[in-house]
Amino acid sequence: MDSSYKARKEAFVSNLAGGGILEINAVTLVAPASVLLWSVLQSRISFFTPYGAPALVTDFFLNVLSILFATTFYSSAPWTLNILLALPALILLLTSTPSRPQQKAKPPRSSTAAKKNAPKRASDSSESLPVHPFLTTYRAAMMIITCVAILAVDFRIFPRRFAKAENWGTSLMDLGVGSFVFSGGVVSARSVLKGQTNRAQKVPLWQRLAASTRHTIPLLVLGLIRLYSVKGLDYAEHVTEYGVHWNFFFTLGLLPPFVEVFDAVATILPSYEILSLGIAVLYQVALESTDLKGYILVSPRGPDLLSKNREGVFSFLGYLAIFLAGRAVGIRIIPRGTSPSRSPQQARKSVLLSLGLQALIWTTLFALNSTHAMGYGANIPVSRRLANMPYVLWVSAFNNAQLFLFCLIETTFFPSVHRETRMDGEPERTSFATSPIMRAFNRNGLALFLVANLLTGVVNLSVPTLDATTAQAMAVLIAYVAIITGVALALDRANIKLSL
């Protein structure tokens, strides 16, 4: 890469101050608005069943291109895009009635067989960990906006206020990094819940560490590949993001084994939320009461490895707190939650109430931590570079709110998903309530994240993104997200699963 152009590229993503949280909320609201319109089309007229070419194109426009447009063309008017998505949904709601999901006919069973299996089925359904379409949609939307941003940030059509802030501030990409970790924590709760239902088969710590290390190896290998490719190709890099050698793959890869160690601590605490807050508080105390903050932000680099990679090493504590906060949410929302005294409707209301209350609590803590809050707040600025306590609280509040919205949409338009507790027909019910594109993105997050990074590198090495016109930028970005979507659907069709 030409040295002068490399310097321009690095300057383009450096020393930025971010933007306002309200605008970030408006932009990210496009994902729930798109899912709302998708859900209305499916629940009212079964538009996406069968899944032909018109359904595929519409699905792509709603769940992929809408996010791309929100961060580019409509970046200055996100509420306009939200209204354009919500208005057709409202009109269709007022002019149509719900349709019934199509399910395959099942052969009748004898009454003897039904009685024989009844107790076992009741037990299985109460202890099962069902598939939640709203959780699939949430994870997929996060993955899509991540893939969009990592290339779009290199074009001028992507506002600088959405790119990562240098030291202090909030931005869309700062939020995306934390949300990526949070969502990983949510789905990691499945392993904890399985362990709770099989207490007699408690896996020793060393075995859990070995299993998590196996999960870690691919991410660490990807981190090394990225490191050597960046250095070898003289690729433009933002050193103050994670350090000279560290990258996000290393952070993702090291989280599972550390979480297993802290999982032992969680057994003596009331909840993972307490553990998450404890880590965030202790880390913030260290930042404020020692020279650690100055060391991370302004200390000269080198010659030791710690100094060269101090952002990645110390921000890991903040990301660990975020991951544990996500695991706490997963433990609450993944189980079916039904019992002889608790109906499916009551269980779902409990999930919605929990998500709404958690969003409110995290938001209140964030306000008290990052503002004056009528004279009671600490007024500590958010820093993604430090992954400090306000950053942890902000990411946790946002993701709880997003999960609440996606869960509310599913509960409203696809009630059969949570009301029916039998395993019979569950694949059909969840499939009817889930976008095939969103399911594909969720199933193959690791593969798609790798493909997105590779394509980003190819584009940046072959296209002068800083000098591209708006039309050229949009053409490249649309082709880019179309390729990633095609890869996702192809992997899903081949029944390949490479999730994060």
Q: Domain ranges in the chain?
A: 15-97+129-163+428-499, 174-421
Tokens for 411, please give them: 């509960």
Q: Which residues contact 69 (CB under 8 A, 6 or more apart)?
A: 81
**Core vs surface per residue 319-354: b (16+ CB within 10 A) or e:** bbbbbbbbbbbbbbbbbbbbeeeeebeebbeebeeb
Contact 137, 454 (CB under 8 A): no
Residue 9 is predicted with a pLDDT of 83
What distance, in Å, lies between the first and last C-alpha atoms of the chain? 32
3-state SS, residue 170 = strand
| Residue 165 near residue 16, CB atoms below 8 Å | yes
Distances from the Cα of 431 to the Cαs of 37, 131, 175, 319, 480, in angstroms?
17, 10, 29, 33, 27
Count of residues in the chain: 500
For residue 194, give every residue at least 6 positions away whose Cβ sits within 8 Å of its Cβ, in sequence order, or none: 129
| 113-117: Cβ within 8 A, 24+ apart | none
Distance between CA atoms of residues 326 and 187, nearest Å: 8
Residue 274 host element (H or E):
helix 272-289
pLDDT at site 393: 97
Give the residue carrying structure tokens 């999901």. Answer: 101
The helix/strand/coil state of 76 is coil
478 token code pair:
């649309």
Phi-psi region of 108 (alpha: psi -120 to 50; beta: other; left: phi over 0): beta
The whole-angstrom separation of Cα 270 and Cα 254 is 25
Q: Are 328 and 261 in contact (CB under 8 A)?
A: no
Which of the 8 DSSP states describes residue 468?
-
Q: What is the pLDDT along the chain (500 residues), one digit of tens a residue?
A: 677 888 888 888 888 999 999 999 999 999 999 999 999 999 999 999 999 999 999 999 999 999 999 999 999 999 999 999 999 999 999 988 776 654 444 444 444 444 444 444 434 434 478 889 999 999 999 999 999 999 999 999 999 999 999 999 999 999 999 999 999 999 988 888 877 766 556 667 677 777 777 778 888 888 888 888 877 776 767 788 888 899 888 998 899 888 887 777 777 777 889 999 999 999 999 999 999 999 999 988 878 899 999 999 999 999 999 999 999 999 999 998 888 888 999 999 999 999 999 999 999 999 999 998 877 888 999 999 999 999 999 999 999 999 999 999 999 999 999 888 777 778 899 999 999 999 999 999 888 988 998 999 899 989 999 999 999 999 999 999 999 999 999 999 999 887 77
pLDDT at 201: 61
Are residues 418 and 347 in contact, defined by beta-carbon separation less than 8 angstroms?
Answer: yes
Handedness of CA 100, 103, 106, 109 (dihedral sign): negative
Q: What is the C-alpha separation between 95 and 40, in angstroms, rounded?
A: 11
Distance CA 217, CA 254 (A): 9
Question: In the prediction, which pLDDT does 110 show?
Answer: 46
pTM of the model: 0.91
Angle (deg, nearest 10), helices 445-462 and 205-232: 10
On whether the CB atoms of residues 330 and 189 are closer than 8 A, the answer is yes
